[in-house]
Structures are given as C-alpha cells and as structure tokens.
C-alpha cells in the first residue's frame, strides 16, 4: 500500500564543478528496492540507494535515508526504527 503525495528520489544532480551550472553536470542514479507487503504512509520521501525490506511499515511524513530491515515499523525525520514486528 502506498499513501498519497510520496516522493521516490532515485536520482540527483552532480555538484563537482564550481565553474559549471548544476544542470550541465549530469546526474547520478541510485536503485531503490521496495520489498513485498510494504506499507508506505502519506508524504513519505525515499532517497536513492535505499532498500525497504518485506513486511515493513513506513509512517507518514518520514524521510527514508537508510535501509529498513524486514518486519519493521519505522518513521521520523530522519527515519528511525520504532518496532520490530
């Protein structure tokens, strides 16, 4: 289940050259993996390179900036493990 207004950010601009505009520097892509039976609450942001394992719940308004293990309830900014289920 996926709530409304979520953001899945699998790419970002490169910022390596100070003499060039950011939109001329390309971008990097990082895979995002979401397991089976995952609930993602409303207004969640998931950053690139993140894996959310199966049977997990992500609370509303969460910034997922680290991997989430199986059978976990997580939430907050930044994300914290709330409970194993």
**pTM assigned to the model:** 0.85
What average pLDDT does the chain have?
93
What tokens were used for 84? 């194993």
Is-contact 54 35, C-beta < 8 A?
yes
Q: What per-residue confidence (pLDDT) applies to 20? A: 77
- Alpha carbons within 13 angstroms on the beta-carbon side of residue 10 total 7
- Please give the angle made by the CA atoms of 55, 68 and 15, to the nearest 5 degrees: 140
Active centre residues (catalytic): 13
* pLDDT beyond 80 at 3: yes
Q: Which domains does the chain carry?
A: 7-84 (2.160.10.10)
Q: What is the pLDDT of residues 47-78, one digit of tens each?
A: 999 999 999 999 999 999 999 999 999 999 99
* pLDDT beyond 80 at 2: yes
């Amino acid at each position: 289940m996926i709530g409304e207004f979520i953001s899945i950010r699998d790419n970002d601009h490169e910022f390596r050259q100070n003499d060039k505009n950011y939109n001329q520097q390309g971008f990097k892509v990082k895979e995002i993996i979401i397991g089976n039976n995952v609930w993602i609450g409303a207004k969640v942001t998931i950053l690139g390179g993140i894996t959310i394992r199966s049977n997990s719940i992500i609370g509303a308004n969460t910034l997922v900036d680290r991997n989430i293990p199986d059978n976990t309830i997580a939430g907050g900014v930044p994300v914290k493990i709330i409970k194993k289920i």
